[in-house]
Structure 1
Amino acid sequence: MRFSLRRALAIGATLAVVGVMTPGAAYSQADDPRSCNDLMGADTPAYVVCVWLAKPEEALDVALFWGANDSANLKEATPQDGKFLDCSSPGDVCPTPEGEEISGDENSPVPEGAEDGGVPECEAGQECAIGGYEAGGDGTVSGSELGGSKLPVGAATTKNVTLQDTAAVAAAAQTPTGQAITAAKADGFRVWIDTELADDWKAGTTTFAAAVKRIGALAARPEVAGIRFTSQLGYNKNFKTAEEINTFVTAASTALRQAAPGKRLGVHTVVPEFACGANAACKTEMRKQYPLLVPEQLEASLTAGGIDQISLDTGLLYGGYTPWKISAEQAQRNQWIQVRASSWDVLAQVAAEETGLVGEVTAEQVASRVSKPVMDGAAQQVNLWTRVQNAQGTASRLTAWDELKKLTPIQRRMAAVYDLTTPEVDVATDLKKLSEVFGQIYLTTA
């Protein structure tokens, strides 16, 4: 292996670092030849001091030393001698904490006798350990790293390693959704999984745990940026009370963060009152019709579940406010003014969910419905449905390709909501076409 002078210089440069010290470590900087305080800005606090560990001219000497004679010194360098114990070597004895028995290899992911990624059998009422968690006879896993919460075995994770075996993740990658994720990533998309867990949650623990495990296996791949786990939250008939919504959002977000750590979580809903603006009669009626969609309630759900993204639907804006002589344009303006005033962007990323750009639309409609929410700073991105089916079963598809291509400056903020079960041509062809316009995609799956 050869070491070039450029590499040696890079090694030397790492030694020419600036040290930042606390007042206790700064004995006197006034006459210190190694001081580099002159490199700091005039507004730097007085308690922050700068010291060269290796001055620039010294760094060159370091680099030349290690690079001399074809880097001979670097090749001959060995780790500093130290005192180490090899617990497996004869004669080396490692201490064992009192009362504790150690078995298995230090690299064993699970207790001895359990299959890799599997779960040891526990009798009713018995507890046993799995990778730092305690597994009880009730089929749940809990651990301090999860805040003491319990979740179904196979869905929990620790340090970004899931308890479900790698075979489950590999199998998920071969499903239609998994293959679509692979194709979408290859086309340059930032990928979200779009699913509905409300029905699974209401169906009971077993069904909910299975759904979370399935989505977790899909989302475990690095190609996936986030999971949107419910749509029309509070608008559909899934929930009866605000407390029930909060319980669901908290349960789903907690389970998904354990099943797919590091993935962003989102919900889709609507706030009818926002589009009323200052019209008191409109606001009163909207609160009466949609008691679970008042701003305070949804904000409580966001806070309780620690949601990363909230998508606000614009469907009601088109004709839903005519009794108060509020046009679609006025309703849209009112909604985003209220969103900005609520400062929801501090709690989560805000997205506009646009379902009204399928079929024949004008250039003005595309500009106002896609550009304005982003350009006004109310929404950080806009989600466009690529297909909408009405109550009679007639489907309309996205057609405004030429107009959308003109929005290149905000392409990264534009996301397509794409249903894998209803392709226009086939999934691969559709994704390729969508990538010409959109930077993100929500892959809708069961």
Structure 2
Amino acid sequence: MRLRQLFVIGLALSLLGIGVPAWSQDDPRSCNDLMAEDTPAYVVCRWMATPEEAAEIARFWLDNDGQNMRDTGPMDPIVIDCTESDCPTDSEGDGQSHDVGSPDVEGAEDGGQPECPTAEPCFVDPDEVTGAAVKKAAETPAGQAVKTSATSGMRVWIDAELADDHQAGNLAEAAKKIAALAAQPGVAGIRFSSGLGYDRTFATADELDTFVASASAALRKLAPGKKLAVHTAVPVFGCGAVAECAEALAKKHPLLDPDRIGAWLAKGLVDQLSLDGGHLATEYATWRIDAATAQRNQWIQVRARAWDAYAHIAAEDTGFAAPGGSRLTTEQATQTITDRIAAPLQDAAAGTITLWTRWQDAQGQVSRVYGEKWAANPTWDQLKKLTSIRPRLATLYDPATPEVDVATDLRNLSEVFGQLYIRTA
């Protein structure tokens, strides 16, 4: 750093026509004579200790057979004389000396871990995901769906909900199960909460922050290398410049403070933030802000805050589906795609669009984008044409409630989507 400062100062002064006098060669600590003749004048050499001083320092430590060096050793060393009758006998080990790296006890391996009669090790680190847990996770419906999706060409995420587990004090155990599932080949990341701060699971903003930090820390440790994501909404963004709207929605949704959510990104707690758009059509009627304007306001705010510099930003949309199947005509489907897929991508704020293609409500009614049993309809046909942006389209899939079967469902979904969030039970 000092050399860099000298270089900058020297360069600046030379540009101003001011000369910098060279350090005197008569300085007893100067070693400029050891440098090449073409060394710039602003580069100087000084001994920290002259050769004579260095020799004197060496003599101090080496004289008298290194007595000064020995004198610096630890004082009052601990000595155990086991010839005494009260030598302790309750310490660990077998009382015998062993070579470095050799087993401590008979039958042990890897420097002391005893060999077990089973395939699993006798000692299991409570902070690690075991091979048995990974194998068990692979046999679940979600694990089988991950395996099947590997042949579809889609990028796979695990979609889980850890908020309730955190509130119940079971975050550590739940995170292990999710990490075991994420350890399956082909999994890119984990979405560990949806509707975050919007679904009233947390009473205070501090509780919300604690959950995000705790879940992120647990999954970073248990599933290293996996991306982490959350889904939420920021209603105040849709207000744009309407101050009354922003004030009202900030009071209505106190946990969804943009600065708080932005801090999760800046701190690296999450790698992907998905913003829901379900409220954009109805939340702003009082202030005569329509859905298109609210959506545009939202993405302007995202860009202004440079959130995409910290994490991947996604837009999430449920509006293409309807009970039984989408009822949009070809023209309506085309316009909806333009408004709700093309616009967020063209606004250069959202990197991907996540569409809900199928879900079932509490009464058992199923909403879909496609037709029942994958029957064709105009909306699905139009979506299949978006081949150029397929990597930017994502959807959610619940293997516990398939439309036909997992293989058939994933094959059809892969015709539209490049990314898949597989829900866990």
TM-score surpassing 0.5? yes
CA distance in 1, matches of 2:204, 2:219: 23
CA gap 1:413/1:219 in 2 versus in 1, 3 angstroms: same
Higher strand share: 1
Q: Distance between the aligned counterparts of 1:392 and 1:341, measured in 2?
A: 42
Corresponding residue for residue 277 of structure 1: 240
Match in the other structure for 1:112? 113
Distance 1:209 1:220 in 2: 16
- Are 2:210 and 1:239 aligned? no
Q: How does 1:11-410 map to 2 (within 5 A)?
A: 102-104=101-103, 111-113=112-114, 115=116, 118=121, 120=123, 153=126, 155-156=127-128, 164-204=129-169, 207-304=170-267, 306-359=269-322, 360-361=327-328, 362=332, 363-389=334-360, 394-399=365-370, 400-410=379-389
Measured after TM superposition, the shift of residue 348 of structure 1 is 0.7
Measure the CA separation in 2 of the matches of 1:374 and 1:329. 14
Task: Find the counterpart in structure 2 of residue 438 from structure 1.
Answer: 417
Q: What 5-or-longer segments of structure 1 have no aligned partner? A: 1-26, 29-97, 121-129, 131-140, 142-152, 157-163
Q: SS at the partner of 1:180?
A: helix
Supply the AA of the counterpart residue of 1:267: V
What is the CA-CA distance between 1:185 and the residue it aligns to?
A: 1.3
CA contact (8 A) 1:273 1:283 kept: yes
Q: Distance in 1 between matches of 2:267 and 2:115?
A: 37
TM-aligned CA deviation for residue 165 of structure 1? 2.9
Q: CA 1:281 to 1:217, structure 2 compared with 1: closer, same or farther past 3 Å? A: same
CA distance in 2, matches of 1:419, 1:387: 9
Assess, with a 3 A threshold, how the Cα gap between structure 1 residues 292 and 402 changes in structure 2: closer, same or farther: same
Question: TM-score if structure 1 supplies the norm length?
Answer: 0.65
Q: Deviations over 1:51-85 (max 9, x none)?
A: xxxxxxxxxxxxxxxxxxxxxxxxxxxxxxxxxxx
Superposed CA RMSD: 2.5
Deviation at 1:102, TM superposition (A): 4.2
Larger relative contact order (C-alpha < 8 A, sep ≥ 6)?
2
2:397 counterpart of 1:418: yes
- CA distance, structure 2, for counterparts of residue 208 and residue 118 of structure 1: 25
- TM-score with structure 2 setting the length: 0.68
Inter-partner Cα distance in structure 1 for 2:220 and 2:281: 36
Aligned counterparts of 1:112 and 1:194: Cα–Cα separation in 2:
37
Corresponding position of 1:12: none
CA contact (8 A) 2:101 2:111 kept: no
| Amino acid in the other structure paired with 1:203 | A
Q: What secondary structure, in the 3-state scheme, does the structure 2 residue paired with 1:307 have? A: coil
The unaligned stretches of length 5 or more in structure 2 are 1-35, 38-96, 371-378
| Structure 1 counterpart of 2:260, one-letter code | Q
Distance 2:248 2:397 in 1: 33
Query: 3-state SS of the aligned residue for 2:367?
Result: strand
Q: Distance in 2 between matches of 1:213 and 1:119?
A: 19
Q: How far apart are the structure 2 equivalents of 1:100 and 1:280?
A: 75
Q: 1:318 to 1:228 in 2, by over 3 A?
A: same
Q: 2:102·2:111 contact (CA, 8 Å) conserved in 1?
A: no
Partners of 1:428 and 1:256 in 2: how far apart?
29
Q: Give distance in 2, aligned partners of 1:194 and 1:219.
A: 10
Query: Which string of whole-angstrom CA distances, capped at 9 and with x for unpartnered residues, describes residues 165-207 of structure 1?
Result: 3222122112111110011111111000000001111111xx3
Confirm or deny: 8 A CA contact 1:265 1:308 kept in the other structure: yes
Local SS of the residue matching 1:429: helix
d(CA) in 2 for partners of 1:215, 1:247: 19
